[in-house]
Amino acid sequence: MIHAQADQNARQQLAVQVVDAKTRKDLSWQQLADVTGLSVAFVTAALLGQHPLPADAAKAVTELLGLDEDAALLLQTIPLRGSIPGGIPTDPTIYRFYEMLQVYGSTLKALVHEEFGDGIISAINFKLDVKKVEDPEGGSRAVITLDGKYLPTKPF
């Protein structure tokens, strides 16, 4: 049976346990994802409390992390989503994404609507990828791909 959480506390507390176990065992998010067969972005989001994991994935991850059956069960519940409480984020990395949306949000909206019409980009039927590439001018660049299904607005 599928179960949903009523508040974020249980999943947030589990996320703290996951990060602690991941750190103590010196594991990467990719290593955790590898035991599930799912993408690193999805598994990371799930372990940080934003998605449920399938039963086999939850069991594999909790075994690798040394967490108990209760943790595996909780990882399978549908969370109350949202990881940025209280308005403008203060973490510098998250704030830069907020800043990007402040600067380019209206541009993205205009371009999406011009290309597709009235509707939204799904965050449910969605894929995320982050890649590190070398910058020809020196250093590195982050290439972030947000790949969501377009859902048109339907008159009713």
Residue range 35-69, pLDDT digits in tens:
999 999 999 999 999 999 999 999 999 999 999 99
Check residue 153 and report its DSSP letter.
-
Rounded Cα gap, residues 94 and 84, in angstroms: 9
pTM above 0.75, yes or no: yes
Catalytic residues, by residue number, are 96, 99, 122
pLDDT of residue 87: 84
- Tokens at residue 51, please? 């998605």
Rounded Cα gap, residues 16 and 81, in angstroms: 16
Q: What is the pLDDT of residues 59-108, one digit of tens each?
A: 999 999 999 999 999 999 999 888 777 788 889 999 999 999 999 998 99
C-beta of residue 143 within 8 angstroms of C-beta of residue 133: yes
Percentage above 70 pLDDT, the chain: 99
